[in-house]
Chains A and B, each alone.
Chain A
Amino acid sequence: MWRKLMVLSMILIFLVSFIFAAPVTIRFWHAMSGSRIKLIQNLANEFMKTHPNIIVKVQYTGSYNDTLNKTIAAVKAGNPPDIVQVYDIGTQMMIDSGIIIPVQDMIAKDKTFDINTLVPQARGYYTVGGRLYSMPFNSSNPVIFYNKTLFKKAGLDPNDPPTTWSEFIADAKKLTVKDSKGNTIQYGFTSGLIGWFFEQYMAVQDAPMFNNDNGRAKRATKAVFDSPAGLRIFNFWNDMVQSGIMLNAGPGWSNPRQIFMSQKAAMLLTSTSDVEMMLKAAKDNHFELGVMFLPHPSGVPYGGVIIGGASLWMINTHNVQKEKAAWEFLKWLAGVKPQIEWSTGTGYFPINKNAIQKLLYEGYYAKYPQYLVTILQLLMSNVTPSTRGGVVGPFPKVRATIENALGKVFNHEMTTAQALKWAQDQANQAIEEYNSLYQ
């Protein structure tokens, strides 16, 4: 009797669910502000048009840090999103969170997705221990913008930007202008005090930040950036500031941009995602804009640049249908058309090789050679543990510590060697503290 009833009710449930096959709703939290909010919503709308059985609820949840905070709170409250955007340095933290599904697991089950279409540098960053954990999304790397007009004024060839550190310093000297009273009215170079740049200069020298292959072979247990390569960077940076050819613009991205745009500095180290903004600023302020690769110290093997930005993580909601829907969306976002839309609308790279190819054929890179420079710099990078970027739990803390250490050098509190050692000790302490939870 009971059995019959059970079977009957199960059949009933099956039928009902078949008839009312309600579309699956997934939630997607991201940290892209300004005009990008609309852009992402539009992408989601396009996806929903072609996938009528999936509803994507997109929400902008503030900065990367806000978004991560919100996710942590939501996990505890039991209502996390299905997809969340997390910054590059949150990778190990997410791997350890116990709440995610590595996208590799989804790829393994889905023959229609070709992992080889992903740009190797982007794929490399988010692959840890041989597993791709999250789907690359907004990806950028650092470049130097330069003011060609000021180059000409200083008697430099605007089409022959410096490639090595010594050339860079020599040019920056020529680009520094002082008035009769000895006040600097134009600096050769400016940059924010941003730890990401240190990591990039390490990669340029093919030097790792952490042990165990930068934390990629197995969990990193020690920071190793107190190395000749690291010291070279601190000295390079500090020498330029102390000799007055570089204006240290302090923390954050806004001040240095402003200094460069108002032509108080001739060169600017910033992210490739600023290309669009810089093109516009150059037009408004009547100067010609150039983009160059990160210079490298001569006599040191060249590594490349690390991809930065953020990726999309799938949260394990224990709901197979939602997971499937989330994966469909991620897969779609990595496709050619959405990637072109996203990349041309923001300045981030397409993370899909075919999208780059298509843009090239369409003449996009011929029209905007500045974009070509940024993408070439990435594609010409070697994929090694150093250029794939470090992975470590307390990376936000490590990055902030390096910024602090550089600040201490500029304040004459410490020498470059002392500061670097101090930063490494701090980083090791943080790593040890973090790792102790996962032993």
Chain B
Amino acid sequence: MSRKIIPYILLLPTFIIITFFIYYPAAMTFKLSAYRVSPFGNRIMFIGLKNFKFLFTSQEYAHVLYTTLIFVSVTVGVGLVISLLIALLLNEKVPGIGIFRTLVFAPYAISPAVAGTLWAFLLSPAAGYVSYLFLILFGTQPQWLTSFPLALVSIMIATIWKNLGFNIIFFLAGIQSIPKSYYEAATIDGAGAAKKLFNITIPLISPVTFYLVIMNIIFTTFSVFGTIDIMTQGGPGGTTTTLIYKLYRDGFVNYRTGFASAESIILLAIMAVFTYLYFKFAQRAVHYQ
């Protein structure tokens, strides 16, 4: 076998899969988005860009976009700060640190749906410990899962918690890859702990941070579906309906195939923006794939 064709053979399985199950559906999305299709598919109507017109003028969709934006930015922002703090703590060389690391990484293995049931239980009105804790601490019993904006906050808590493991692992690895000499030099210059954190650690782990921001955005935008489906099903009043949840409802509960495809195009466009940003700003971070 000639060495020239070997790489193509090696790539064949992967490219067959992505052709049929990623690029072909992507092309199909564009086609479907120009149609209106009946639930059983027995009536099909070409309507051009009407689905998009409807999407862009829909207050409901604007609300969903807004919810997603708030949800993603708060979850990713707060989640990464907490993760960084914990990672700094786990970087200390104290006895038993190995055990602490092992335990703290645990949420990595937990699925969004499991995170959903665990927190739905903790926040439930009749049996939840968090509800009880709030009652004895603050004298109130907030309706976590059924009121605005607490329902969205509940989803945020579950998601931040679930993401901790992944984020901490990467932050810790980033921190550990910083050469010791940098800190030693700073100590000689008389820099305090805070100064070291802001002048050395944070700048030097910025490629990791960038990678984590992208990964977290993708995760919180899409994988959160399981958490939402278990905890609130998009309610109350649609206040926890994010883009992916709406796409599911329109595609598989309301049977609006064409309309859902138009929503898919919007999601594709959003992801295209991320891809562009990624290539533009993350030349350095490409290694961290």
Contact = CB atoms under 8 A, between A and B. Distances in A.
So, do A and B actually touch in the complex, CB under 8 Å?
yes
A39 interface: no
Interface in B26-44: 36-43
A65 B249 CA distance: 11
B146 A250 contact: yes
B126 A259 contact: yes
B238 A404 contact: yes
Contacts of B239: 407, 411
Contact of B236 (A75, A396, A410): A410
Contacts of A157: none
Contacts of B36: 433, 436-437
B126 A403 contact: no
A184 B60 CA distance: 34
10 contacts: A75-B40, A183-B139, A248-B236, A255-B126, A396-B253, A396-B254, A397-B253, A403-B235, A409-B237, A430-B254
Nearest to A434: B38
B237 A433 contact: no
Interface residues of A, number: 46
Given A259-B125, A433-B256, A410 B40 contact: no
Contact of B141 (A65, A183, A250): A183
A248 B125 CA distance: 11
B145 interface: yes
Contacts of A251: 146, 232-233, 235-236
Contacts of B237: 404-411, 413
Contacts of A413: 148, 237
A403 B145 CA distance: 15
Contact of B145 (A250, A397, A405): A250
A252 B37 CA distance: 29
A357 interface: no
B253 A250 contact: no
Interface stretch (A46-54, A90-98, A106-114, A317-325): A90-98
B187 interface: no
A264 B126 contact: yes
Interface string A371-393: 00000000000000000000000
B147 interface: yes
The residue in A249, A264, A437 that gathers the most chain B C-beta atoms within 10 A of its C-beta is A437
Q: Which of A76, A255, A411 has the largest count of B CB atoms less than 10 A from its CB? A: A411
B235 A65 contact: no
Contacts of A93: 39-40, 255
B287 to A, nearest CB: 43
Contacts of A403: 235
Nearest to B238: A404
Interface string B129-166: 00000010001110101111000000000000000000
Contacts of B139: 181, 183
Nearest to B143: A248
Contact of A394 (B143, B146, B252, B254): B254
Contact of A400 (B39, B147, B249, B252): B249
Contacts of A344: none
B40 A99 contact: yes
B40 A98 contact: yes
Contacts of B238: 404, 407-408
B9 interface: no
Contacts of A248: 143, 146-147, 236
Which of A99, A249, A409 has the largest count of B CB atoms less than 10 A from its CB? A249
B45 interface: yes
Task: List 5 A-B pairs, minimum CB-CB distance, nearest first.
Answer: A407-B237, A250-B146, A407-B236, A411-B148, A97-B40
A405 B239 CA distance: 11
Nearest to A261: B126
A249 B39 contact: no
A396 B145 CA distance: 23
B124 interface: yes
Given A397-B254, A413-B148, A96 B38 contact: yes
A76 B41 contact: yes
Interface string B251-262: 011111001000
A411 B135 CA distance: 21
Given A69-B252, A250-B236, A437 B43 contact: yes
A72 interface: yes
Given A411-B148, A433-B256, A436-B36, A252 B43 contact: no
Contact of B43 (A75, A76, A438): A438
Contacts of B259: 433
Contacts of B41: 72, 75-76
Contacts of A75: 40-41
Contacts of B143: 248, 250
Contacts of A250: 143, 145-146, 232, 235-236
A255 B40 contact: no
Contact of B39 (A97, A183, A247, A404): A97
Contacts of B252: 65, 69
Contacts of A433: 36, 256, 259
Nearest to B252: A69
Contacts of A430: 254
A133 to B, nearest CB: 15
B40 to A, nearest CB: 4
Nearest to A406: B237
Nearest to A66: B252
A436 B60 CA distance: 21
Interface in A19-50: none
A193 interface: yes
Contact of A437 (B45, B124, B147): B45
Interface string A191-206: 0010000000000000
B138 to A, nearest CB: 11
Nearest to B51: A433
Contacts of B127: 258
Contact of A249 (B43, B146, B255, B256): B146
Nearest to B47: A436
A426 interface: yes
Contacts of A98: 40, 42
Nearest to A99: B40
B256 A258 contact: no
A118 B87 CA distance: 68
Given A93-B255, A259-B125, A397-B253, 9 more contacts: A96-B43, A97-B38, A97-B40, A99-B40, A250-B232, A400-B254, A404-B235, A410-B147, A411-B148
A262 interface: yes
A438 B42 CA distance: 10
